[in-house]
Amino acid sequence: MNNTLQFLGATQQVTGSKFLLEYHDFRILIDCGIDMETRDEDEHPNPFDFDPKTIDVLLLTHAHIDHSGLIPLIVKEGFEGMIYCTYATYHLTRLLLFDAARINMKKAGGRKRKTRPDFYGPREVQLCLDYFQPIDFEQKTVLNDQVSFYFRTAGHLLGAAHIILETSEHTIVFSGDIGRSNYPLLQDPKPIPAADYVICETTYGMRSHKDKDPEKILSTIIHDSCVDIPGRLIIPSFSVGRTQTLLYILHRLQATGKLPPIRIFTDSPLARKSTQVYQDFVEYMNGEAGDFQQQHGSLFGFDNLIYLSDMNSAEEIDNYHEPCIVITSSGMVKGGKSEDHILRNLENSYCTILFIGYCAEGTLGRRLIDGLKTVRSLEEELRVNARIISTDVLSGHGDYNDLLDFFRTQDKDRLKAVFLVHGEAESMENFKQSLHHHGITDVTIPIHGESFTLKEAEKFV
Ligand SMILES: [Zn+2]
């Protein structure tokens, strides 16, 4: 019997996580994410390299769309198994999938895109939710008489998990996305058990985070941009995860008297809904967040925080002339509200634009960080007079040292292979060399579609 592990996404790139484990004819898919990098939608409208009907169960590490975004499609294409994830992951995934469906509908504009195999709308999202089976962290779940698994806290995002999967012969660990130690709100990633196989992300396989104190850094930036210069601070931010961290830090600054009495506008309906989910899951968070909640009765609600209504929000702020902070999505500035806010303020030398997350090549965010001097908008050529700054202090991904730390519990004699995924090629190669230096020698960087046979356990007589 061939027991195999196949890599169907996030191979030598960051997005599109999909891994297929086949054990004694039982087929387990780990994550079902959208590939946002290489797939040419028009040439490859069918996003699956396998028949969804043949998958028995789906395990989801966390809610981010590059891990969950194809779930409505896999169900539409005939998958009928359970989808296991943690409770918080279920609630955040639900919000993100409905938001993705809304964007799909907007792009389709009622035209024939709707008949494409890779299209889904709110109806498909509603249908796929019936297959979700949320469970607690550490709750061992038996899939059949040879395979069981449990979720372990990974930090990174509310509900995010490592998957520890046990067959009758092996322990296999899927890292999901690995968070950082001492990150606001979230618990530290928990150590994983000694395993036979580890599938590990490598987003920051060659980088260390420089900035480590988010309260200090944000407080300085706010004073520079809204007090010393009485201007406007625009923060493009991802609505799920990053915005909650930001609001929590602002609340902490306010509670200690370090936030000037200025208005903070949050312009994203999705951010508002996911903030509610975060608030509902205080028990998943770290001790510091729990204490803060006890003391202040809320993690995110404080004076001067205003959620804007959906319509004409950028115009509403245009007419507000006092110093203020505007938190808007998306973080990379690719169309949408953040682009609207930024284009309206680009020529304003009293404006600071602060990037707090990864911006992909080609996005306006990336180009501004790289020093773009003018931006073409409709018929106009806009000069970049606003101050452009960035920090990785709020990044939810562990850096090189956190990734190495993830392996500290491994028994080198037992470990049969490590597979590196979810990173750019250079980052993977760098991290592979580092693992070699630490005595972990069987490290593979799989290519798309590659399949590996799991070694049989040694038989003891
Ligand atoms: Zn993630």
Question: 63-122 pLDDT, tens per residue?
Answer: 999 999 999 999 999 999 999 999 999 999 999 999 999 988 988 876 666 777 778 999
Alpha carbon distance 332, 366 (integer Å): 7
Q: Which residues surround ligand 1, an ion (CB under 5 A)?
A: 64, 177
Question: 419-439 pLDDT, tens per residue?
Answer: 999 998 999 999 999 999 999
357 and 250 part of one domain: yes
53 and 198 part of one domain: yes
**Token output for 369:** 């960080």
Q: Is the pLDDT of residue 327 over 60?
A: yes
Check residue 460 and give its pLDDT: 45
Check residue 140 and give its pLDDT: 98
Ligand 1 centroid – CA 371 distance (Å): 27
Ligand 1 centroid – CA 65 distance (Å): 8
Please enumerate in sequence order all residues whose Cβ is within 8 A of that of 336, keeping only pairs 6 or more positions apart, or say none.
329, 330
Ligand 1 centroid – CA 63 distance (Å): 7
Ligand 1 centroid – CA 353 distance (Å): 24
Ligand 1 centroid – CA 257 distance (Å): 33
Ligand 1 centroid – CA 240 distance (Å): 10
Ligand 1 centroid – CA 260 distance (Å): 32
436 and 305 part of one domain: no
Q: Which position has the higher pLDDT, 312 or 127?
A: 127
Alpha carbon distance 393, 319 (integer Å): 31
Task: Calculate ∠ Cα 235-239-240, nearest 5°.
Answer: 135
Ligand 1 centroid – CA 178 distance (Å): 8
Ligand 1 centroid – CA 62 distance (Å): 7
Check residue 116 and give its pLDDT: 75
Confidence of residue 187 (pLDDT cuts 50, 70, 90): very high
Q: Is the pLDDT of residue 62 over 60?
A: yes
Domain ends where: 355, 390, 425?
Answer: 390
Ligand 1 centroid – CA 183 distance (Å): 15
190 and 233 part of one domain: no
Average the pLDDT over 449-460 and give the result: 77
Q: Which position has the higher pLDDT, 226 or 1?
A: 226
Ligand 1 centroid – CA 181 distance (Å): 16
168 and 285 part of one domain: no
Ligand 1 centroid – CA 128 distance (Å): 21
Per cent of the chain over pLDDT 90 is 77
> Is 460 inside any structural domain?
no
306 and 425 part of one domain: no
67 and 166 part of one domain: yes
Ligand 1 centroid – CA 222 distance (Å): 27
C-alpha R_g of the chain: 23
CATH of the domain at 52: 3.60.15.10
Ligand 1 centroid – CA 19 distance (Å): 15
Q: Which position has the higher pLDDT, 359 or 92?
A: 92
Q: Which position has the higher pLDDT, 410 or 363?
A: 410
> Is 458 inside any structural domain?
no
Ligand 1 centroid – CA 458 distance (Å): 36
Please enumerate in sequence order all residues whose Cβ is within 8 A of that of 121, keeping only pairs 6 or more positions apart, or say none.
101, 104, 105, 108, 114
Start-to-end CA distance of the chain, whole Å, equals 21
- Cα distances (angstroms) measured from residue 246 to each of 96, 221, 328, 329, 396: 19, 13, 11, 13, 12
Check residue 457 and give its pLDDT: 62
Confidence of residue 236 (pLDDT cuts 50, 70, 90): very high
Ligand 1 centroid – CA 67 distance (Å): 7
- Cα distances (angstroms) measured from residue 92 to each of 30, 87, 336, 458: 18, 9, 20, 42
> Is 330 inside any structural domain?
yes
Ligand 1 centroid – CA 270 distance (Å): 17
Half-sphere exposure of 15 (CA within 13 A, CB side): 15
Ligand 1 centroid – CA 261 distance (Å): 34
226 and 372 part of one domain: yes
Alpha carbon distance 399, 383 (integer Å): 35
Ligand 1 centroid – CA 460 distance (Å): 41
Ligand 1 centroid – CA 204 distance (Å): 12
> Is 26 inside any structural domain?
yes
> Is 461 inside any structural domain?
no
CATH of the domain at 301: 3.40.50.10890
266 and 316 part of one domain: yes
Q: Where are the beta strands (DSSP E) in 226-338?
A: 232-236, 263-267, 305-307, 324-328
Check residue 38 and give its pLDDT: 64
Q: Which position has the higher pLDDT, 34 or 32?
A: 32
409 and 362 part of one domain: no
Alpha carbon distance 119, 73 (integer Å): 8
Ligand 1 centroid – CA 64 distance (Å): 5
Check residue 326 and give its pLDDT: 96
> Is 140 inside any structural domain?
yes
Confidence of residue 150 (pLDDT cuts 50, 70, 90): very high
Check residue 362 and give its pLDDT: 81
253 and 357 part of one domain: yes
CA 412 to chain centre: 30
Residue from 227, 201, 211, 161 nearest 428 by CA: 201
> Is 459 inside any structural domain?
no
Ligand 1 centroid – CA 299 distance (Å): 22
Ligand 1 centroid – CA 242 distance (Å): 11
Domain ends where: 390, 414, 432?
Answer: 390
298 and 249 part of one domain: yes
Question: 190-227 pLDDT, tens per residue?
Answer: 999 999 999 999 998 888 888 789 999 999 999 999 99
> Is 171 inside any structural domain?
yes
Ligand 1 centroid – CA 15 distance (Å): 9
Question: 44-58 pLDDT, tens per residue?
Answer: 566 788 999 999 999
Per cent of the chain over pLDDT 70 is 95
Question: 260-272 pLDDT, tens per residue?
Answer: 999 999 998 899 9
The whole domain housing 289 covers 214-390
- The tally of domains found in the chain comes to 2
Residue from 196, 246, 236, 205 nearest 458 by CA: 196
Ligand 1 centroid – CA 202 distance (Å): 12
Average the pLDDT over 368-393 and give the result: 93
Ligand 1 centroid – CA 226 distance (Å): 32
Domain ends where: 339, 356, 390?
Answer: 390
User: Could you say which DSSP state residue 447 is in?
Assistant: P
Residue from 212, 191, 257 nearest 406 by CA: 191
Ligand 1 centroid – CA 288 distance (Å): 23
Ligand 1 centroid – CA 154 distance (Å): 10
Alpha carbon distance 119, 98 (integer Å): 13
Alpha carbon distance 81, 55 (integer Å): 7
Ligand 1 centroid – CA 177 distance (Å): 5
Check residue 461 and give its pLDDT: 40
- Cα distances (angstroms) measured from residue 165 to each of 170, 194, 221, 378, 436: 8, 12, 44, 52, 25
Ligand 1 centroid – CA 355 distance (Å): 18
